[in-house]
Structures are given as structure tokens and as C-alpha cells.
Structure 1
């Protein structure tokens, strides 16, 4: 019985801690922060973070867009440019558009991809 009470008390304490933390604002990566990480020359750590983050944004777009309910807005023609070329273009875009600096990086990166790789109009 004591073990059950200790387990319940630990669970209640953990639940309270998780609830308190869930009320904290979620910090999202800004466009300026992503541009800073992706600038060349980059350290191996920065490059890995930049490639991982930008690839995850595009992969999430591909995985969550329902082809029958949402028309594509990013259409990469093959052969696709290199990843480094696209990232360099994004850094340039971010530097030339300072109004995006404080915006969430994921949304700005998707907008950049849509402008860089528009789909053909039907």
C-alpha cells in the first residue's frame, strides 16, 4: 500500500510540474536566428542544425499536405538544386527581407520555398 501511495504522490508531483511547464510560452526559432545558423562558413554543428531544420520543414510540408484536399504550393523540379544552394538562397532572402527577421523561421522558410519553387498554374 505504501508503494502505491508513493507512486501516486510522485505521479501527482510530476503532473503538476508538467502542467506548470506547459503554461510557459513556447519559444520558436526566428528567421534571423535560422539565417545566422545557416550563414557560411558554418561550423559542422551549425551546418548540421541548418540542414536538419530546413529539411524537417520541407519534409513536414510533404507529410502533412493532403494531395486531394490541398493543392501543392511548392513544386521542386528535377533535377533539384543542391541543398547548399537552396540554403544559400534562403540566407540571401532573409538578409534582403529584414521585415521577416522576427517571424517564425518555419513559416518564412515555407514562403521562401513557395516563391523559389512555384507550382505551374493550371
Structure 2
């Protein structure tokens, strides 16, 4: 019984090491811009809208107003979603040095540039 426990412990630790070394693929800016480019298939359009909305919603939900000043301030009435997404695609195409960077961070940077907060 003791030997079985030791064998299971060793196997589980080896599985943990293998999982820790596994590289998790992250969506690149180029991939997101490609999915967001018009005309898009219904699947690409849905993915683009869902992904970009999730990035912004996560920013809103995780920013603590007392500890972290906002850096994205969308004035109301907000522009149409399609306009903002088209602007992001142009931004990504104009900044090719960012194309292999993670899409979420680049999209947040784009939003900060497009919708800066008053100083």
C-alpha cells in the first residue's frame, strides 16, 4: 500500500511538471484583427464582438476606483461598436510591431489611446 502511494505521488508530480511546462497559446493581435476585419463570417464577427467586449468588461469589473485610476474613459453617447472595432483593425494594421503581442493587452492599449481619461 505504501509503495502504491509513493508511485501515485511520483506520477502525479510528473504530470504537474508536464502541465507546468505546457505553453498555453494566447490570441495574438494579428489573429484578433484578422477575425475582426470586415467583411467577416458570422462566426468571426461573433468571436470578435464577444472577445473585445469581454476585454473591456473585464477591465471595468477588475479596476478598483480607489486603488487604480481609470485609464479608459468612454464618453457618452459611446460610438458604435462596429466603429471602434474597425478603428482597432486599422490600429493593428498600422502597428505591425504589435502583431505577435497578446491581443487583450494591445486592445486595452488601443482603448486607452482612443478613449483617454481627462487629466
TM class, shorter-length: 0.7 to 0.9
* Runs (4+) off by over 4 Å: 12-19
Match of 1:93 among 91, 94, 97: 91
Deviations 1:32-56 (A, max 9, x none): 0101110000000000000011001
Q: 1:65 matched to which residue of 2?
A: 63
Q: How many Å apart are 1:60 and its aligned residue?
A: 0.7
Q: How many Å apart are 1:13 and its aligned residue?
A: 7.2
TM-score by length of 2: 0.86
CA RMSD of aligned residues (A): 2.1
Q: 1-side partners of 2:23 and 2:90: how far apart?
A: 30
TM-score by length of 1: 0.84
Aligned residue pairs total 116
1:83 aligned onto 2:89: no
Map 1:1-122 → 2, pairs under 5 A: 17=15, 20-121=18-119
Could you list the runs of 5+ residues in structure 1 that have no partner in the other structure?
A: 1-8
Could you list the runs of 5+ residues in structure 2 that have no partner in the other structure?
A: 1-7
Q: How many Å apart are 1:26 and its aligned residue?
A: 1.2
Q: 2-side partners of 1:17 and 1:46: how far apart?
A: 35
The alignment partner of 2:38 has SS state of coil
